[in-house]
Each structure stands twice: as C-alpha cells, then as structure tokens.
C-alpha cells in the first residue's frame, strides 16, 4: 500500500491515477475527499480524510502502508495555514507517523531553490527545514525538488495561457526576464512513483526539471503560439508589484501574489545540469517540453468562443 498525502491536488491526483492504472493499492490523504469523488472511484484507490496537522488521523492512515509519498504544501500562506505549520510541522507529523508505523519507504516533495534561496524566502526556508527533518529521521527517504510543474490542471501556466488568449498585451514582472525550467506533471509523477517502489535510489536528493530553460517571456510566447495568438509583453515594475503585494497581504485572506513570491523571482528556478542528467539516468521519464505537451490541453481553449487576436 502506498500512501499519498495531498492526493487530490494537481500532482497528487496524477500520481494516484497512474498508480491505479498499474493496479497498485494507493491510499490518498485529503482534508476534503468529498471534493474528489471521481478520484475515489478509481480501482485500487481509497481516499482517507486526514490533515497533516492531526497526529491521530495520520496514525490511523498508516495502517498496512509500506511507502509514503508526502506532497502537502502551500504556495501562499493564509490566515488558517502558515508555511511553518504546513511545511515544517506537517512534515514532522508525517515523519513521526511513518516511524511509529514502521513504514519502509518515504518520498518527499520539496522545491527547486529550497537550498540556495532559503535566506530570501519564507517558502524556501520552510521547505529547506522540512528537508532537514527528513534527513534526520533515519527513514529510507528520497527528496525531490521539482521546478515549476506544468499540466492540464496547473494554476501557473494555465493562468498565463488565459491571459495570452484574451489580452493583446501580457503584463509580466520586470518584463518576464526570470528563468524557469518547467517540468511535465507526468514526469514528476513518474519519479515519485518509481522511487516509492524502490528500496533506495542512487541519490538521496534529485532536482526535477524539464529539458529546457525558458524565461517567463518565452513561456508566454510558447503558450500564445499554441493558442494562435501574437502578444506584446508589458513590463510591470517590481517596486509597484511589491507595494501591491504588501497591500493585498493586509486586506485579503488569500492574496493573488505575495512579497515572498516576488522575492523568489529574483532567483533563477533552474536545475544543475548534472542533476538533470542524474534524473534522466535513474528514472524512466519522457522528459517532455512545454511545447510538446501543452497543445493537448490548450486545444480546449481554442474550441471556446473566439478571443481577441
């Protein structure tokens, strides 16, 4: 039995679907499993209501579990959930439950940038400290640090695509010079699933990134081209964005952008080339590009009502 925390999220759902297709027993943890009924009806899948903040629920969820894939994380803190509570305390609770239950294998989701960016961002700092807890646990563990993940249900790339579809001008922070190494959700799901079935991986930590480095401006061009649009990029001053983010953090329960996220844009979200070679050597993945995969789901946008060209 493989247990997946955050099972109804973007990556978690992809992992659960792939495990189901292979006939692997999987228990998906979610705070609101009723919101993912279709996922719960898949063969070999059991959805379990649990919160990583509740040690008793986690203990109950570990029955008969051999491997745990821990995905739970947040991008924006809210008044109910902080980075500290979710990334550090939540991971500690999951690790404790694994050790108490004698779980054989543990696979952890961190984030690309967690080490070099930990002094710049609270998000990265808490991700880094969660990694440290995994290393100190003594469990047979593998840590993955994905770059920005793209796929049919992701928030980031689809939001950019919607803007590119409807607006002749696409506003980007500092003109979109920030670097990313976007990675296909199917490839990320594969490395987690394959690692969970291994006794150990060749490395204790992998950076999970796609085959190409793109600036934010180039990502918009790729998405706009797939949608058949020609778009102009308008630079947004970073100072103005930081001011707007500060105001949004004060007045909104879940701000659309935060100062922490803007700080993260100052660090290229790019993997070490040797780390990428290790990833493709040790795991069987497509290593797909954004341009190769995005047309399959963005075609649904082009079938909708005509947009501005």
Residues 2 and 24: beta-carbon distance below 8 Å? yes
Q: Let me know how many helices (H) and strands (E) the chain has, helices first.
A: 13, 13
Asked if 95 and 138 count as a contact pair (C-beta separation under 8 A), the reply is no
- Structure-token pair, residue 98: 């694994």
The encoded tokens of residue 182 equal 């976007």
The tens digit of pLDDT for each residue in 174-208 reads: 999 999 999 999 999 999 999 999 999 999 999 99
Query: Of the given ranges (73-77, 190-194, 277-281), which has the lowest mean pLDDT?
Result: 73-77
pLDDT, tens only, 121-169? 999 999 999 999 999 999 999 999 999 999 998 989 999 999 999 999 9
Q: Is residue 155 part of a domain?
A: no
- Left if phi > 0, otherwise alpha if psi is -120 to 50, otherwise beta: which for 100? alpha
In a domain, 169, yes or no: no
Judge whether 256 lies within some domain. Answer: no
Would 231 be classed as within a structural domain?
no
- 305, part of any domain: no
Element (H, E) at 69: strand 67-70
Rounded to whole angstroms, the Cα distance separating 39 from 280 reads 29
Across 54-58, average pLDDT: 95
41 domain residue, yes or no: yes
Q: Point out which residues pair with 3 in neighbouring strands.
A: 27, 68
Q: CA 178 to CA 218: how far, in whole Å?
A: 10
Q: How confident is the model at residue 256 (pLDDT cuts 50, 70, 90)?
A: confident
Q: What's phi and psi for 264, nearest 5 deg?
A: -70, -25
- Say which CATH number the domain at 282 has: 3.40.50.720
Q: What is the pLDDT of residue 306?
A: 52
Tokens of 295: 């047309």
Collapsing DSSP to helix, strand or coil, 153 comes out as: coil
> Distance between CA 5 and CA 28 in Å, rounded?
6
By mean pLDDT, which of 2-11, 177-186, 202-211, 298-307 is the weakest? 298-307
Helical (H) or strand (E) element with 147: none
Q: How far is the CA of 175 from the CAs of 147, 171, 220, 238, 249, in angstroms?
A: 21, 7, 11, 10, 23
Q: How far apart are CA 82 and CA 89, in angstroms?
A: 10
CA–CA distance from 244 to each of 74, 104, 249 (Å)? 21, 47, 9
Answer yes or no: are the C-beta atoms of 122 and 130 closer than 8 Å.
Answer: no
Domain interval for residue 11: 2-149+184-209+270-287
Q: How many CB atoms lie within 10 A of CB 143?
A: 23
Assess if residue 96 is contained within a domain: yes
Length of the chain: 309
**What CA–CA distance (Å, rounded) separates 48 from 61?**
7
Give the count of domains, the chain.
1
Q: Is 126 a domain residue? A: yes
So what's the pLDDT on residue 305?
A: 45
Place of tokens 């706009």: 224
The 10 Å CB-count burial string (b at 16+, else e) for 13-32 is bbbbebbbeeebbbbbbbee
């Amino acid at each position: 039995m493989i247990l997946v925390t955050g099972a109804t999220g973007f990556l978690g759902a992809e992992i659960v679907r792939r495990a189901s297709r292979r006939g692997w027993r999987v228990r998906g943890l979610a705070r609101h499993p009723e919101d993912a009924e279709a996922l719960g009806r898949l063969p070999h899948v059991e959805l379990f209501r649990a919160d990583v903040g509740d040690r008793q629920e986690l203990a109950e969820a570990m029955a008969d579990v051999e491997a745990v894939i821990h995905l739970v994380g947040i991008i924006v803190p809210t008044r109910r959930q902080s980075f500290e509570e979710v990334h550090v305390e939540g991971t500690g609770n999951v690790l404790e439950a694994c050790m108490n239950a004698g779980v054989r294998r543990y696979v952890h989701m961190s984030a690309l940038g967690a080490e070099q960016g930990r002094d710049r961002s609270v998000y990265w700092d808490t991700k880094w400290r969660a990694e440290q807890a995994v290393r100190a646990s003594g469990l047979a563990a593998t840590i993955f640090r994905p770059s920005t993940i793209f796929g049919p249900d992701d928030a980031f790339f689809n939001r950019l695509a919607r803007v590119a579809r409807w607006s002749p001008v696409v506003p980007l922070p500092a003109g979109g010079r920030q670097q990313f190494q976007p990675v296909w959700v199917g490839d990320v799901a594969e490395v987690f699933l394959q690692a969970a079935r291994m006794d150990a991986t060749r490395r204790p930590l992998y950076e999970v990134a796609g085959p190409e480095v793109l600036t934010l401006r180039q990502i918009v061009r790729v998405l706009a081209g797939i949608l058949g649009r020609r778009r102009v990029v308008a630079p947004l001053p970073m100072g103005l964005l930081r001011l707007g983010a500060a105001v949004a953090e004060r007045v909104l329960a879940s701000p659309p952008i935060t100062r922490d996220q803007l700080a993260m844009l100052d660090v290229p979200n790019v993997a070490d080339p040797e780390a990428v070679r290790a990833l493709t050597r040790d795991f069987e993945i497509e290593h797909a590009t954004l341009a190769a995969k995005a047309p399959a789901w963005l075609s649904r946008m082009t079938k909708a009502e005509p947009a501005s060209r």
